[in-house]
């Protein structure tokens, strides 16, 4: 995590080496302004075409759904919230072959569902099996309205130092 943070800071400070503090702050401010304007425009464009989630999330869902047909699903309750999965084909990165999903508790043994708050392949398979909408198991922060609200704020131009 420390490496990721330092890489992010290095990316923000790129082209700002050896600048005085005032110029460094000003450079960072303008770069963030540019980022917010660009990301806000992208989110607005996706909202205007009717997208509910970001393209990145939809790619992750598509990737996770590719493995749904490689497992047996066992439903353990009438309320359609408790499932066990037996994977028939080894999936790269998997530690085990049997997983339990508790939809009402938003838990899966793989840990992906709890960590990222988006449906893993097991949750997608459970939703498909129980005829539930997987979208209700996506955290609201991934909705485009939430993303757009982050970038809704606008930066004010920096006035002259004498003002």
**What does the pLDDT profile of the chain (163 residues) look like in tens digits?**
456 677 766 776 676 667 787 887 887 888 888 888 898 999 999 999 999 998 889 999 999 888 788 888 888 888 878 999 988 877 776 666 889 999 999 999 989 999 999 999 999 999 998 899 999 999 999 999 998 888 887 777 777 666 5
Assess contact for 53 and 40: CB atoms under 8 A.
no
φ, ψ of residue 140 to 5 degrees: the values are -60, -25
Task: Give dist(CA 158, CA 26) in Å, integer.
Answer: 8
Q: Is 161 helix (H, G, I), strand (E, B) or coil?
A: coil
- pLDDT of 31 reads 84
Assess contact for 114 and 108: CB atoms under 8 A.
yes
Task: Give dist(CA 36, CA 155) in Å, integer.
Answer: 8
- pLDDT of 25 reads 80
């Amino acid at each position: 995590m420390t490496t990721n943070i330092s890489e992010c800071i290095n990316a923000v400070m790129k082209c700002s080496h050896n600048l005085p503090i005032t110029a460094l702050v000003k450079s960072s401010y303008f770069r963030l302004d540019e980022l917010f304007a660009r990301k806000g425009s992208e989110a607005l464009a996706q909202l205007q075409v009717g997208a509910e989630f970001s393209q990145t999330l939809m790619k992750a869902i598509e990737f996770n759904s590719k493995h749904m047909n490689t497992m047996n699903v066992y439903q353990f309750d009438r309320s359609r919230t408790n499932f066990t999965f037996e994977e028939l084909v080894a999936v790269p990165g998997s530690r085990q072959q049997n997983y339990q999903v508790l939809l009402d508790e938003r838990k899966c043994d793989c840990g992906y569902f709890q960590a990222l708050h988006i449906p893993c392949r097991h949750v997608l398979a459970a939703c498909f099996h129980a005829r539930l909408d997987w979208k209700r198991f996506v955290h609201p922060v991934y909705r485009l309205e939430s993303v757009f609200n982050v970038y809704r704020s606008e930066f004010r131009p920096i006035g002259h130092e004498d003002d």
